[in-house]
Amino acid sequence: MERYACTDEYEKLVIRMSSPRVVIDNGVCSTATLVKFDSARRHGILLDTIQVLTDLNLSIKKAYVSSDGKWFMDVFHVTDQNGNKLTDESVLRYMEQSLGSIHHGRSNISNGLTALELTGTDRVGLLSEVFAVLSDLQCDVVEAKVWTHNGRIASLIYLKDCNSGSTIEDSQKINGIEARLRNVLKGDNDIRSATTSVSMASIHTERRLHQLMFADRDYQRNPIFKASSSHIPVVTVQNWAERGYSVVSIQSKDRRKLLFDVVCNLTDMEYVVFHATITTTGDQAHQEFYIRHKDGTPISSEPERQRVIQCIQAAVERRASEGVRLELCTEDKQGLLAEVMRTFRENGLNVTRAEISTVMETAANVFYVTDARGNTPDPKIIESVRNKIGRSNLKAKESTLTRHQTEKPEDDEQAVGVGGTVLFSLGSLVRRNLYNLGLIKSCS
């Protein structure tokens, strides 16, 4: 009995020691709230931590990540959507509880909804066909997210049965949904690459979209049309032989969830982040990661290095949609999305990204639209669409995600090249960041 008691106490001690420690401090920085997170290191723990912060719609202005042996230490400088420090006690408590309870990953709960996953070749009017099929099959779209990138489309759609108002469990109906949508996605020229699947599993929607795009190899494909304002993030990957790391440096326009997108990509590619620094200056963000494979080795070949660059660029670009943002807020009804998408298609508008949700019988949807060639639509067409759908229901504004670079960074470690592309001196950044991480005594 005594031996078993000792074993129980040892297990409790291990649990206490491995449980994350969270400190939230509003007194250190005048412009941001500091979130300090310490935990036993495991693959994916950094992504889980960042996911908690981004799911609260927080902006990460700075971050330092370091691991020492089997222990993992992070410091995040975060603000709310308006750029202010966090003062709401309920938000602070929820964040502390959520971070403190991270053990085996996190996921979005689908609340008994049927999750439908789609990937295929993007084309004008494709979503109109998809939602028309779902409406015809008596499926009610409760939530959905759609991303397009490099001529590909990925979507995660949460459904319920229109008649019963609950999960679609009839296997025959599920098979019918998959078969009809697979035909829609294939079109006339995409016989091989269209995929559909239905599950009841709970999953984090945006992480799954990254996984679907990655599995579809969107990073290897060239877009049919590309908007003139597109800006490819600058990504460099070099090995630091002395320390056995591969150093990934990323310069891009800053936006919410940028860090989540990059770390999601590195995690799903089976790389482990040992150290990292993230800084933002104005509308620019610089991220630097010291990574290895899960077996402890750095990137070993030129093809692998190029693949990492392509995949990170794709991860940054997927969410940064071009075009005009249209916000639809109206009473939900069966077939609403099919009607709206048909109107877009009939007016030559292509949906590059969509976020669809239903709250208390109200549809709250956001669409980013371009013309058929990927350019900003004619304002007259937008106004015509608004008149048809209802001007009070459909609001339009220019996308806040346009990516023109209008100002040169002031950091004296940056050199501005052709077209305003910002390049970095890897050596100086390595020294500075290692000093910030406590790995060397001087950055001079």
Q: DSSP string covering 234-282, please?
A: EEEEEEETTTTEEEEEEEEE--TTHHHHHHHHHHHTTEEEEEEEEEEET
Q: Of the candidates 278, 122, 110, 271, which has an alpha carbon nearest to the alpha carbon of residue 200?
A: 110
Average pLDDT over residues 402-415: 36
Q: What angle do CA 24, 27, 33 make, to 5 degrees?
A: 50
**pLDDT value for 408:** 36
When pLDDT is cut at 50, 70 and 90, the band that residue 400 belongs to is: very low
**pLDDT value for 410:** 38
Share of the chain above pLDDT 70, in %: 79
What whole-number distance in Å separates Cα of residue 213 and Cα of residue 410? Answer: 35
Q: DSSP string covering 324-365, please?
A: EEEEEEEE--TTHHHHHHHHHHHTT-EEEEEEEEEETTEEEE
Strand order in the sheet with 114-121: 195-199, 114-121, 152-161, 139-149, 350-359, 362-370, 324-331, 394-398
**pLDDT value for 443:** 46
Give the length of the chain. 444
Question: Considering the chain, what is the average pLDDT of its residues?
Answer: 83
Residues 197 and 211 sit within 8 Å (Cβ to Cβ): no
Domains of the chain, each with CATH number or no CATH = 2-100 (3.30.70.260), 114-223+322-398 (3.30.70.260), 234-320+408-436 (3.30.70.260)
**pLDDT value for 384:** 96
Q: Which DSSP helix (H) or strand (E) runs through 389?
A: helix 379-389
What residues contact 398, with CB distance under 8 A and at least 6 apart?
324, 325
Over residues 220-245, the pLDDT tens digits come to 876 655 544 456 899 999 999 899 99
**pLDDT value for 419:** 32
pTM: 0.83
**pLDDT value for 233:** 92
What whole-number distance in Å separates Cα of residue 198 and Cα of residue 158? Answer: 10
The token pair at 125 is: 């009017």
Ranges of H-type helices in 19-69? 45-55
Over residues 10-47, the pLDDT tens digits come to 455 444 555 789 999 999 999 999 999 998 888 889 99
What whole-number distance in Å separates Cα of residue 331 and Cα of residue 392? Answer: 12
What whole-number distance in Å separates Cα of residue 235 and Cα of residue 262? Answer: 11
Over residues 294-341, the pLDDT tens digits come to 999 999 999 999 999 999 999 999 987 678 999 999 999 989 999 999
**pLDDT value for 224:** 56
Torsion of CA 42, 46, 52, 55, to 10 degrees: -130
The token pair at 317 is: 């670009």
**pLDDT value for 436:** 52
What whole-number distance in Å separates Cα of residue 388 and Cα of residue 375? Answer: 22
Residue 423 in this model has a pLDDT that exceeds 70: no
Of 242-246, 353-357, 409-413, which range is least confident? 409-413
What whole-number distance in Å separates Cα of residue 369 and Cα of residue 155? Answer: 16
When pLDDT is cut at 50, 70 and 90, the band that residue 135 belongs to is: very high
Q: What angle do CA 164, 168, 171 make, to 5 degrees?
A: 130
